[in-house]
Every structure is written in C-alpha cells, then in structure tokens.
Amino acid sequence: MKILILTHRVPFPQNGGYAIVVCNTIKGLIALGHDVSLVSLNAEKYNGNSHGKDELQDKINYTSYKININISMVDAVVNLFNKKSNNVDRFYNAEFEKLLIRELKKTVYDVVQFEGLFVTPYLSSIRKFSKARLIYRSHNIEHQVWQRLAQQKSDLFKKWYLRMLAKRIKDYELEQLNKFDAIAVFTSEDKITMLSYGTTIPVEIFPVGIDLTRYNPDLSKTEFPSLFFLGSLDWLPNREGIEWFIDNFYKDLTEGDLRVKFYVAGHNIPERYDDYEVMGKIFIQGEVDDAFEFVNSKAIMIVPLLSSGGMRVKIVEGMAMQKCIISTSLGAEGINFTHGDDILIANNQQEFYDAIERCITDEEFCRRVGLNARKLIEQQHDVNEVTKGLVKFYKNLEKAAKV
C-alpha cells in the first residue's frame, strides 16, 4: 500500500513521544513492505531537524514546510473574543495546503493518516483531492488535556482561560471526528471517550509500539539509588507535573530523609529551573546527548503527570529499559500494568513519598519491578506486532468500502 503520514511537527530528531511514535510507525510499515510518504509542518518552535539528517528520511518520500505558529500578545487578546480555537488555527497555512494538493495529484495513496488534531485543518482539501482511506490517529483527547490543566489551577483567571480554550478545542475536536473513515487510539480510555461523543466510524486501539532491539539495559552502569525525570518541558502537562513534584519534595530531597540524587533532563527546560539545583542532590541537566545512556545510568523514574491523556511513550521506553517507575494513574493510562509488580502508582504527595522511600532502600525490589516491566513491553508493545494490527485495520476498511 501507499501510505501518507501527515504531522504537525517534524519528527526528527526522534527525541520526544510524538516523534518516536510517528517514526516507529513508519519503520514498522516499511518493514512490512509498504511505501510510506511523510509530509510535515516544520514549526520553528519545535526545532525540527536540529541535529541533522535522520537515516529514516532516506527510506521514505519526505517533505517538510516551514511555518510560524507563534502567537503575539495582540493575537492572544483578539482570540479572547473569537469563538474559534487559535490553538488549532495557527497550524493552517495556505501554501502548505497547496503543497499537499500537489502531492495528492502526483501520487495515488491508499491511506492518509493524520497524526493528531493539529493537521485536521487540511482534512477537507485531502478529502476533495484523494480517494484514500482517511485515518485520524488520536495521540490524546486534546481538549481533555486543557480541561485537566484548568482543574489544577488556583488562579481564577488562568482557570477561566484554560477552560475557555478547552471548550473551543472540544467543539472543534468533536466536529471533526465523523469526517474521517476511522480513528486509531492508543488507550481503551480514549476509545470509550470517542464513542461517548457519538462517533459512528470504526475506532480501534493500537498501543504505542517500540523497536525493542534499541533498548538494551546494562545494570552495571546504573547508579543506585538515583531518581530521575525525563521529558520535554515545552509541553505544559510535563512542566506542571515536575514543578508539583519539586515544590513538594524539595526539602525531603535536600534536607530530609529521602537520601537520593535527583536528575531532571529534557528538551526546552526553562532557565529558571537552574534555581532548583542543589550541589550533590538535585541536578538540572537540560537536553542530554544520548537519552538511552541517561536512562540506563539512573535507577528510578518518576512520572508525576497531573493532566494529560493518551499513552506516555516515556513510560513505555522506561519499562523497556527495565526501570522501576513511579507514576500517577493518569501518567500510566492505557498501559496494562499491575501496581507493585511492574510499576508503582502514586497519586498524591504521601503515596509518592512512600514509593520513593521503598525504592531507594530496596535495590532488589527495584530490579524485580524493572524486569517485570520489560516483560510487559515485550508482550504488548513490540512495534512489529502493533504495526501488523494497524495494517490489518487499513485493509479491513478498504474491503468494507468496496462492499
């Protein structure tokens, strides 16, 4: 089959959840013998392709188009009086739309897969110029992210503003759903939500798939005990979560009984985070050169997500690296975990404290949890098996269309 993947950001380098999911899907499709094209919006905000060319680009027909998605203060004020969602509208570009139309006229595709809500402004044009099956892959229920962010805010204006954004995104999101031929989601929770909104097209679950050959833990190089967080801090739920964690555990880590070094790494860490550093105790490392090496060198991973949706790629990757992970229920959403066996779930300050205390004092327990986590990923998140299911989904849609 000829498959077109459409993304709102360049997935190179593969250093974030969205990029990893997109690229692993492409690798799986290529391995099964399919012809894959990738067309990406290249927003400067995301620093696409900042580390040079990715070898995957030579295996696909790849095109990117630079756009500016920054919102000025004037735009933000005007948006207060606009019923449309500026969060989505800023990804529309007329010239990029023309580029897409030229691509569709040049190549007859069997499937066009929209990777997330922010490329849906091009749906009507693609439907007009292509007879392909149009698949919406929902990385999360977008408006839920904003609703949950609003719930966490104590500032009344911020709470009101985020609720307003959530409503506008929800109105737009629900309007799009039945315009596709099918929807792919990562979690059963998201499927239930989609169906509750009156979705009448097929909705199927395909968990995050990873290439297990890339995850080779070496426990001899792991510092125990050590605590770490890895994630992009230009994503609001990550920033909210890590700030909650540091605010609540700063004294415990620096002056109290949690005698463990804590490392924070990731993309776009604000400069003000340097104020959190305490020599020999809390380390703000910024973006690391080798994420695999960083994860391998640390023992206990924390995922203190308070708002979000979908499946967290970093947890899947952490499990594949045999990490002992402490996460909120929301952070581990969609993963078929067993609390205390292959992950530890903590939903408040006391539960996090108890989990950390147990982990840093019992290395054998941590290793057992990590080993069970790896087994879970091998059983349910092998990208080759996940992609086979996705291709079967494509083919079933094609058969149904011919009936």
Please tell me whether residues 264 and 288 are part of one structural domain: yes
Please tell me whether residues 167 and 19 are part of one structural domain: yes
Please tell me whether residues 388 and 354 are part of one structural domain: no
pLDDT tens-place string over residues 28-46: 999 999 999 999 999 876 6
Chain-centroid distance, C-alpha 29: 20
| Residue 301, amino acid | M
137 bridge partner residues: 115, 184
316-328: average pLDDT: 97
Confidence of residue 21 (pLDDT cuts 50, 70, 90): very high
pLDDT tens-place string over residues 384-398: 999 999 999 999 998
Please tell me whether residues 373 and 388 are part of one structural domain: no
pLDDT tens-place string over residues 351-375: 999 999 999 999 999 999 999 999 9
Please tell me whether residues 64 and 201 are part of one structural domain: yes
Please tell me whether residues 240 and 116 are part of one structural domain: no
The C-alpha atoms of residue 299 and residue 377 are separated, in whole angstroms, by: 18
pLDDT above 70 as % of the chain: 93
Domain that residue 351 falls in:
213-380
pLDDT of residue 49: 44
Please tell me whether residues 387 and 253 are part of one structural domain: no
Q: Which helix (H) or strand (E) holds 111?
A: strand 111-115
pLDDT tens-place string over residues 111-154: 999 999 999 999 999 999 999 999 999 998 888 888 888 888 88
The C-alpha atoms of residue 119 and residue 92 are separated, in whole angstroms, by: 8
What's the chain's Rg over C-alpha atoms?
A: 21
Model confidence at 105: pLDDT above 50: yes
pLDDT of residue 222: 97
Please tell me whether residues 32 and 177 are part of one structural domain: yes
The domain that holds 89 is classified in CATH as 3.40.50.2000
* Positive/negative CA dihedral, 64, 213, 2, 396: negative
Model confidence at 71: pLDDT above 80: no
Please tell me whether residues 323 and 386 are part of one structural domain: no
Helix axes 142-152, 236-254, angle to 10 degrees: 40
pTM: 0.89
Model confidence at 256: pLDDT above 60: yes
Please tell me whether residues 90 and 47 are part of one structural domain: yes
- Residues 6 or more apart whose CB falls under 8 angstroms from that of 180 comprise 114, 123, 134, 135, 136, 201
Give the count of domains, the chain.
2
Please tell me whether residues 184 and 263 are part of one structural domain: no
The C-alpha atoms of residue 16 and residue 245 are separated, in whole angstroms, by: 21
Q: List, in sequence order, the alpha helices (H) in 107-155.
A: 123-129, 142-152
8-19: average pLDDT: 88
pLDDT tens-place string over residues 149-171: 888 888 888 888 889 988 999 99
Confidence of residue 51 (pLDDT cuts 50, 70, 90): low
Model confidence at 346: pLDDT above 50: yes
pLDDT of residue 79: 58
Please tell me whether residues 202 and 232 are part of one structural domain: no
Per-chain mean pLDDT for the chain: 92
| Pairing mode of beta strands 282-286, 261-265 | parallel
pLDDT tens-place string over residues 265-276: 998 899 999 999
Model confidence at 403: pLDDT above 80: no
